[in-house]
Chain A
Amino acid sequence: MLRGEHVMARVLRGRLVPHRLPTSDRRALDVAAELSGLYAAHRDRPRAELEERLAAAEEELGPRLDPRRGFRIVRALGKLLEERSGWAAPTPADPYTVRTRVFELAAAMPELPSEEVGLLEAPTRDEVLSRVARETGLEDPASVMYADRQGAQLLGAFEEPAPEELLGRYNVAQVQGVLYGARELTVDLGREADARLVFHYVKLMDLIYRLETTGRGYRIHLDGPLSIFGGTRKYGLRLAKFLPGLLLTAPWRLSAAVEWRGRDTTLELDSESSDLASHYRGPREEGREVNEAFVRAWERARDTGSWEMEPGPGVLPLPELKTALVPDFSLRHAGTGEVAHLEVLGFWSERHLVDRVALLREARRRGHRFLIAASEKLGAAPEVLAEAAGGEVVPFKNRLEVKAVLRALGEDAAPDV
């Protein structure tokens, strides 16, 4: 994430265009490589020295890259590299103890300890320091006095990015930076997008959403609790942290009301043209194979009664819980139009399971029909699950059979597939 002062954008007819470094830009790639190299070559050296080098690089590389904004670009890239670094203390001694002792001894002298040995036999600086050296066993106490300052830390780990990766990260970070000033974010999520993932990040960032159904999917308005009392930029930072979560899926369009340098502007992006890549790893999803196998089995099945699988699962809003339940699959009965949702519980951790089951129960309470396919490896007995979630449970071993699901849906006559 960038600091506010690194963020750059221009306004084109009310539209906000965040600054961008094309990953094909030779000069930008060179600068990125040079800066990464600076970091990589600095392992085990103090931070203050690196900062000096970076400041020099700013003045040298910056203007060549962009006459007006070069400084800031270089500084911003430096900030992103800093996030990939780990720092270590330069000495095992405790600088606080050392300096406190030095100050105490010095203050106890009848006169200011002088730097030079004079004729008057006044106390000297060396006297104080060598006494501390004897007491602590340190060779040079003066050099340890402030070794706990940030600038004295040594660069330990550094994860060197490829130049393209750094520029990609920069481009996302600039969009995020623009979002710091956002009052509201509206996301149009296509039906094929992973809504479950999106709501995972909505919940994680503690945002409040409003959901509308559109022809192509869903429209989600995002802001925070205080926003209803007049738009506030308070939740901009969270919206910015939400963005890379959204980037993990597609298709989407987003529009944000952003206050930029005192002007009301709009930021608009879409997954087709934005060319932004997420650096989030995404939530750990366990047992996706079961779901994929089930989709294949469903497609191969000769007869699924009159049940059809929806192209994307439904989104069941649970506003009081500040989230929405996105099941694994939604099935629709062609004849009656009835919709049943299917949730596959694979090899889940207990905490996840408890959370998920609470959501399922809540959704059922609102009249949604749910089937729960529970793996035997889950460790929870089907009866217990049925009780906890208040719904029908379809147990499965290694693969979830289409037949078993149809049977639970009431298609008793389902033929073998």
Chain B
Amino acid sequence: MIELRYDSGTLIASGEAPPPEPFVWDGRTRQWRAPANAYRNTMLGLRGSGTPHEDRAARFEKLSLESRVSLEPRPYQRAALAAWRRKDLRGVVVLPTGAGKTAVAVRAVERVGRSALVVVPTLALLKQWYSVLTDAFGGSVEVGLLGGGYHEVTPLTVTTYDSAYIHAERYGDRFALAVYDEVHHLPAEKYAMIPKMLLAPYSLGLTATPERPDGGHALLPELVGRICYRLSPEDLAGTYLAPYELIRIPIELTAHERYEYAQADAIYRDFLRKHNLSMRSPEDWQRFILVAATSHSGGREALLAARRRREIQSGALRKGVTLESLLRRHWNDRCIVFTKSVEEVYAISARFLIPGITYETPARERKEILDRFREGRYRTIVASDVLNEGVDVPDANVAIILAGSASHREYVQRLGRILRPKDGKQAVLYELVTSQTNEEFASRRRREAAV
């Protein structure tokens, strides 16, 4: 007779005979111990050999889940789910951004019909999944949140990688299925601990890009299972992803701004030259502040000039006016404005009286805003980076980017936002860039990287 117990992210076996691998004798507490994820194979082994055993570890619940949302699964989504089932409910599904990975996961949760934990990389996704799962299963189960200030664990809980790393050992016995969104984050030293602390015999990983530059993806089979289904963006292009038009609007500074900018810029550059400073990375900026703050001659002025420069760039008058005219033009469209900073979201929200979404927005309010946006009760929303990484806003057909930072990935994923299939919809993407300042450089880099 072997008895299994869950203990802080590990599995304890007791009985007359020593338990099988990978249990090891823990001399500290005088027990046989294994990582919690040994549960699946241990149970299969015990059952297979007919060894009498008692499972006091698992505290999964059966859930009768039936999605309230009628999802017409696209053929490849159905195929992905079938492939995952063939691999005994353990594996990674690779689908391009915008192909509806979430829908696959919702089906998987429904299919397994037991308590499930969804692990996501960002607070924005935490809130996004909360809203998707509430839509689907809110009638039969309360969706829980763990992370970002929330600590409500229910049989269907969404958490972040960071929170799961900290808390999984407390709740690792409660979930039969673990879903890892953007699963390429998992093979990091810290996060790889998460599956080890979970009993979850079933797991599903989702991503558009499983490969990691550090080779970490080699760990995925052990952590979640092998890739069981894969579809590339080319497989989808044209058929499912809506085409879009990119319109780039250069924002000229006004004469007054140009004058002020040139002055500030001169002081700033002068100082850089005098002190032999370059400006290529965030560390360079730190060094500049350091030198300026300790310098006796002209340091303070250089700091102020640098700040003024940035203010002019981001606060350019014409940018605001241009935005206003675009919002007016698209008042009857479904439009999303993306900003560079959280503060800008609140400024625009208060100025144009349109709802803003940032990482600060509470999950329930965020869901309400997006729901109303979908229903058409809100015409326009403004958001900072939070709508990145696979957040689903199906009905948006206009996006306006207010100079984001120069990052390849971010740019592509932002484009992905409006690349949602909708019959015959021509999506438009505007990019507002202040010319003659270094935002132009960032934009160029972004587009080059995107090609």
Contacts and interface: CB of A to CB of B under 8 A. Distances in A.
Interface of A: 59-60, 62-64, 67-68, 70-71, 96, 99-100, 102-107, 111-115, 125, 128-129, 142, 145-146, 149-150, 206, 208-210, 221, 224-226, 228-229, 232-234, 237, 319-320, 322
B426 interface: no
Given A59-B293, A228-B28, A320-B30, A149 B346 contact: yes
A348 to B, nearest CB: 27
Given A70-B290, A145-B349, A233-B190, 8 more contacts: A62-B290, A103-B378, A129-B353, A206-B8, A226-B10, A226-B35, A228-B28, A234-B193
A319 B30 CA distance: 7
A120 to B, nearest CB: 12
A150 B360 CA distance: 9
Given A112-B331, A208-B28, A228 B33 contact: yes
A221 to B, nearest CB: 8
Contacts of A106: 352-354
Nearest to B327: A112
B8 A225 contact: yes
B41 interface: no
Contacts of A229: 24, 35, 196
A130 B354 CA distance: 16
B437 to A, nearest CB: 22
A62 to B, nearest CB: 7
30 contacts: A59-B303, A62-B290, A63-B294, A70-B290, A96-B365, A103-B353, A105-B353, A106-B353, A107-B377, A107-B378, A111-B328, A112-B328, A113-B353, A115-B324, A125-B352, A125-B353, A129-B353, A145-B350, A209-B28, A210-B28, A224-B8, A226-B35, A226-B169, A228-B26, A228-B33, A229-B196, A232-B193, A234-B193, A237-B166, A319-B29
Nearest to B376: A107
Contacts of B24: 228-229
A332 B288 CA distance: 68
Interface string B247-283: 0000000000000000000000000000000000000
Given A102-B353, A149-B360, A210 B27 contact: yes
B121 interface: no
Question: A-side binding surface: helix, strand, loop or mixed?
Answer: helix
Contact of A319 (B28, B197, B290, B377): B28
A322 B29 contact: yes
B8 A67 contact: no
B7 interface: yes
Contacts of A63: 289-290, 293-294
Interface of B: 7-10, 24, 26-31, 33, 35, 165-166, 169, 189-190, 193, 196-197, 286, 289-290, 293-294, 303, 324, 327-328, 331, 346, 349-355, 360, 365, 368, 377-380
A142 B350 contact: yes
Contacts of A59: 289, 293, 303
B358 to A, nearest CB: 9
Contacts, number: 108
Contacts of B30: 319-320
Nearest to B33: A228
A212 to B, nearest CB: 12
Nearest to B197: A226
A209 B26 CA distance: 11
Nearest to A221: B28
Q: Which of A60, A105, A146 is packed against the most chain B CB atoms within 10 Å?
A: A146
Contacts of B9: 225-226
A71 B324 CA distance: 39
Contact of B351 (A115, A146, A150, A210): A115
Nearest to A222: B28
Nearest to B356: A146
A392 to B, nearest CB: 28
A128 B353 contact: yes
A104 B353 CA distance: 9
Contacts of A233: 189-190
B19 to A, nearest CB: 15
Contacts of A102: 353
A112 B303 CA distance: 39
Contacts of A60: 293
Nearest to B11: A225
A107 B289 CA distance: 44
Q: Which of B29, B349, B368 is packed against the most chain A CB atoms within 10 Å?
A: B29
B197 to A, nearest CB: 7
Contacts of A71: 286, 289-290
A107 B9 CA distance: 49
Given A125-B353, A146-B346, A104 B377 contact: yes
Nearest to B12: A225
B361 to A, nearest CB: 10
A234 B165 contact: yes
A226 B193 contact: yes
Contacts of B331: 111-112
B266 to A, nearest CB: 21
Contacts of A208: 28-29
A7 B365 CA distance: 36
A320 B380 CA distance: 59
Q: Which of B166, B193, B327 is packed against the most chain A CB atoms within 10 Å?
A: B193
Contacts of A225: 7-10, 33, 169
A362 to B, nearest CB: 13
A349 B248 CA distance: 71
Contacts of B169: 225-226
Contacts of A232: 193
Contacts of B290: 62-63, 67-68, 70-71
Contacts of B354: 103, 106-107
A63 B300 CA distance: 13
Contact of B352 (A68, A112, A149): A112
Contacts of A210: 27-28
A319 B25 CA distance: 13
Nearest to A106: B353
B365 to A, nearest CB: 6
Contacts of B197: 226
Contacts of A142: 350
Closest 8 CB pairs of A and B: A106-B353, A63-B293, A63-B294, A112-B328, A225-B8, A225-B10, A103-B355, A319-B29
